[in-house]
Amino acid sequence: MIGPRSAARNGCRHAARARLLGRLGAQAGVATALVLALAGCAPGLSTPATEACNAHAGWLGEGRLEERRERIVETVAELLTGEDPAELRSASAAMTAALGSGDEAAFTAASAAVADACRENGWEPVEG
């Protein structure tokens, strides 16, 4: 397995995969690794923001959304910084708040807003 330090030397795609797999652990599964390997770095986003978008898309693509909901909210929030697009940070904060309040409709809307903000800032989901 590629470690975060050696992966950083091999470019954004490998670094993103190594860091995310380290955060999500072995349960991340092959689907997330495939999403990360193919998605690469979005041109309009920082590497951590791209990782957040990759993580969110991987979570959606794996199904079993309830099982890993808290972890994905935490992962996305940890990856984003004040320099990332405001709409992405706001959507992440809304996901965190909705999770805390148990408001399913607000969580669903905030999750969709994260996906929208990722795409609006140059991230593209893997085709296929």
**52 torsion bin: left (phi>0), alpha (psi -120 to 50), beta (else):** alpha
Alpha carbon dihedral 102, 35, 50, 13, in 10-degree steps, equals 150
Please tell me the distance from the alpha carbon of residue 64 to that of residue 26, in angstroms, as a whole number. 15
End-to-end Cα separation, the chain, in angstroms: 25
Query: For residues 28 and 32, what is the distance between their CA atoms, to the nearest angstrom?
Result: 6
pLDDT, tens only, 21-34: 454 443 444 444 44
Number of alpha helices (DSSP H) and beta strands (DSSP E) in the chain: 7, 0
> Whole-angstrom Cα distance, residue 1 to residue 49?
23
pLDDT digits 0-9 by tens, 93-125 = 999 999 999 999 999 999 999 999 999 999 987
pTM metric for this prediction: 0.67
pLDDT digits (tens, 9 = 90+) for 69-87: 999 999 999 999 999 999 9
Q: pLDDT-derived band of residue 44, with 50, 70 and 90 as boundaries? A: confident
pLDDT on residue 125: 74
Exposure string of 1-34, with b = 16+ CB inside 10 Å and e = fewer, is: eeeeeebbeeebbbbbbbbbbebbeeebeeebbe
113/79 Cα distance (integer angstroms): 17
Q: Is the pLDDT of residue 10 over 90?
A: no
